Structure 1
Amino acid sequence: MDGLLALVEGAVTTPWIYLALFALAALDSVVPVAPGESLVVTAAVFSATGAPEPLLVVAAAALGAFVGDHASYLVGRSASGSLERWMRPGTRQGAAFAWAGRTLQGRGGVILLASRYVPGARTATTLTMGATGYPLQRFTAFDAGGALLWGGGWTLIGYLGGQAFGDDPLLGLAAGLGMAAAMTVLAEVARRLWGRRARRRGTAAPDEAVDPAG
């Protein structure tokens, strides 16, 4: 166990950790195969004892998330023509696509901010925002704030875990990752409750449509 801890500590205290944080956050925004939150929290736990630098952890994670979200948005935008030809008006797919566009135009910023905390949902949201023609300028403004809050929030959680268990980094890491998992679950619960509330008000998609947030 001590050997594993030393290996993890050696990996996150090298200057290359900032590049790794950027790359994983960007990749996670496009292909959600490994939650970027885990590496952010891990690096932040050890930052409580001096290295890496917490502000640089925030910057690397936020910038990676911002770049990855825009890559996903642009993929959606490039595919919009094909989607529009497939989702013809009058079809169920067309109705779902039209609903997604209307919903995102009205509440896109809120949906984008909320989905950033749910792995997978953030990719679906950014792809759909690109495909439905959500304005890039507005997307960039909301995404900049969302990426910064995401990077800063997970860094703070990890840092607090490291501070609380400074003499036992492994326990601090477990506490930080546990808090991160709890936050992810809460975000997903909140997203589902919002969806149910929207359906009761009649603003959700038709039964055959898919929620663009995942």
Structure 2
Amino acid sequence: MHAVEGFVSTPWVFVALFGIAMLDGFFPVVPSETLVITLGVFAASGEPSLPLVMLVAALGAFCGDHVSYLIGRKSGDRIFARLKEGSRARRAYDRVGRMLAERGGLVLVVARYIPGGRTAATLTTGATGYPRRLFTRYDAVAAVSWAVYSSLLGYAGGAAFEESPLRGVALGLGLAFTVTLLHEGVRALRLRRRPGAPT
């Protein structure tokens, strides 16, 4: 525990945060939310700086999303060709493509809060030729709001358990998990209520 507290008070923690938040944009197995929430917890006791956590997380997410967008722009056709018809990944990409056509930038903002969904959204956005100027505008909103939300979630847990940071981390992650479950539950209900939806 003391080693962790020592690390979060060094500048290296921001290098790690930027790298992980960036990687998560195009390599979705990297748990960037976990790190941002954890640093938010420790920020409640003074180190690291909460505004810096928000800023670095947002910059990393923004850069990673643009890497994913460029991958989609250059290799989108080859990526889609490898996805098996009817597979979960193919359904996700097809759904994101339809949503982009209907709602545009709103999809980019919402998808940033869905692990795995953000990569599907940014890759598909690039592959479908969505204008880079609009992508950059909406992605900036998505990255900043995500960084602020995740940091404050951790900060709330850290403030509640200032004497026990690990409990604060558990609370912050629990809140994030609950919000994700609620989001997915509401989405599933809305899909079920659509005309023609299977019963």
Task: Report the Cα offset of residue 191 of structure 1.
Answer: 4.0
Letter in 1 for 2:161: F
1:158 has 2:151 as partner: no
Task: Report the Cα offset of residue 179 of structure 1.
Answer: 1.2
Task: Report the Cα offset of residue 100 of structure 1.
Answer: 5.7
Asked if 2 retains the 8 angstrom alpha-carbon contact of 1:43 and 1:158, the reply is: yes
1:169 has 2:181 as partner: no
1:70 has 2:69 as partner: no
Tell me, in whole angstroms, the C-alpha distance in 1 between the residues paired with 2:42 and 2:96. 41
1:123 has 2:96 as partner: no
Tell me, in whole angstroms, the C-alpha distance in 1 between the residues paired with 2:29 and 2:78. 26
Asked if 2 retains the 8 angstrom alpha-carbon contact of 1:101 and 1:134, the reply is: no
Task: Report the Cα offset of residue 177 of structure 1.
Answer: 1.6
CA displacement, residues 148-203 of structure 1 (integer Å, 9 cap, x when unaligned)? 00000010011111111112212112111211222222333344445445xx257x
**Ranges in structure 2 where 5+ consecutive residues have no aligned partner:** none
- Compute the TM-score of the two structures, normalised by the length of structure 2: 0.84
Indicate the SS of the match to 2:104.
Answer: helix
Indicate the SS of the match to 1:79.
Answer: helix
Asked if 1 retains the 8 angstrom alpha-carbon contact of 2:17 and 2:35, the reply is: yes
Tell me, in whole angstroms, the C-alpha distance in 1 between the residues paired with 2:70 and 2:188. 27
Indicate the SS of the match to 1:23.
Answer: helix
Structure 1 pair 7–166 and aligned structure 2 pair: CA distance change class (3 A):
same
Match of 1:145 among 141, 148, 171: 141
Structure 1 pair 58–171 and aligned structure 2 pair: CA distance change class (3 A):
same
Tell me, in whole angstroms, the C-alpha distance in 2 between the residues paired with 1:98 and 1:166. 45
Asked if 2 retains the 8 angstrom alpha-carbon contact of 1:117 and 1:187, the reply is: no
Indicate the SS of the match to 2:45.
Answer: coil
Which of the pair has more CA radius of gyration? 1
**Ranges in structure 1 where 5+ consecutive residues have no aligned partner:** 208-214
Question: Quick check: 26-35 or 184-193, which moved more?
Answer: 184-193
Name the structure 2 match of 1:16: 12
Structure 1 pair 109–190 and aligned structure 2 pair: CA distance change class (3 A):
farther
Structure 1 pair 125–100 and aligned structure 2 pair: CA distance change class (3 A):
closer
Letter in 1 for 2:118: R
Task: Report the Cα offset of residue 98 of structure 1.
Answer: 8.6
- Compute the TM-score of the two structures, normalised by the length of structure 1: 0.79
